[in-house]
């Protein structure tokens, strides 16, 4: 078997320089995300969401980004899930994008709030029918006796709502409002490039280089 301690990769695809990066981290993120999408890497929109429970235990899961602008980063989920419960008790989270093929990582931290009901409704009704039914069928993060529970629930709600399932009251969007960003570009000899953006009073951003 391969010794996992011996697995190594030399990062040599690109560099990240202060003079070539954007002063606004949202613009830098927009550029990198568009490059990831254009590169046709698998699921460039996948991001890890980290939350912390009241007992201070952290947890992570992968979700899909559904929007971003000057207000923040948006995704949709079940409010009664573990992440929803943890965000209700501690409304701060961290996000991470890892684009392996591009040797890039983006980390984002900030406060999280629910998006408006209108925004959640608009996105919910844009989803495929089976996904809308699935939002009703799955009691996310709850213990179930088997997959048959999901299949039975899906059949029940499909019959109940037919082609027009409404948005469940326990389902909707979150928006993380960033106050810290970090952009990581892999470099040769483990001398990676790391740029951190910290929000300053008045909304301006302080850009700093961190040692790898």
Residues 6+ apart with CB under 8 A from 195: 16, 18, 21, 28, 182, 183, 207, 208, 209, 210
Instruction: Supply the angle between the helices 129-137 and 147-161 in degrees, to the nearest 10.
Output: 120
Q: Which burial class, exposed, middle or buried, applies to 202 when counting CB atoms under 10 A from its CB (0-12, 13-18, 19+)?
A: exposed
Given the residues 61, 175, 190, 194, the one annotated as active site: 190
For 1, 8, 104, 136, 186, the CA distances from 5, given in Å and listed in that order, are 12, 8, 22, 44, 19
Residue 11 zone, left/alpha/beta (φ > 0; ψ -120 to 50; rest): beta
**Rounded to the nearest 5°, which phi and psi values hold at 56?**
70, 10
Nearest to 105 by CA among 13, 19, 186, 24: 186
Active site residue 190: yes
Catalytically annotated residues = 190
């Amino acid at each position: 078997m391969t010794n996992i301690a011996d697995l190594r990769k030399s990062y040599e695809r690109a560099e990240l320089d202060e003079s070539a990066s954007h002063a606004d981290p949202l613009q830098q993120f927009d550029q990198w995300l568009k490059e990831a999408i254009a590169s046709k890497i698998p699921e460039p929109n996948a991001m890890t969401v980290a939350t912390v429970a009241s007992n201070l235990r952290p947890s992570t899961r992968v979700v899909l980004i559904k929007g971003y602008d000057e207000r923040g980063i948006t995704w949709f989920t079940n409010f009664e899930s573990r992440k929803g419960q943890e965000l209700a008790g501690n409304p701060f989270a961290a996000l991470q994008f890892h684009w392996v093929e591009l040797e890039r990582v983006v980390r984002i931290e900030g406060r999280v709030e629910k998006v408006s009901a209108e925004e959640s409704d608009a996105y919910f009704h844009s989803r495929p029918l089976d996904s809308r039914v699935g939002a009703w069928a799955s009691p996310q993060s709850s213990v179930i006796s088997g997959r048959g529970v999901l299949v039975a629930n899906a059949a029940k709600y499909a019959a109940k709502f037919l082609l027009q399932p409404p948005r469940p009251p326990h389902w909707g969007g979150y928006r993380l409002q960033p106050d810290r960003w970090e952009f990581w570009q892999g470099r040769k000899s483990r001398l990676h490039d790391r740029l951190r953006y910290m929000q300053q009073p008045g909304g301006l951003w302080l850009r700093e280089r961190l040692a790898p």
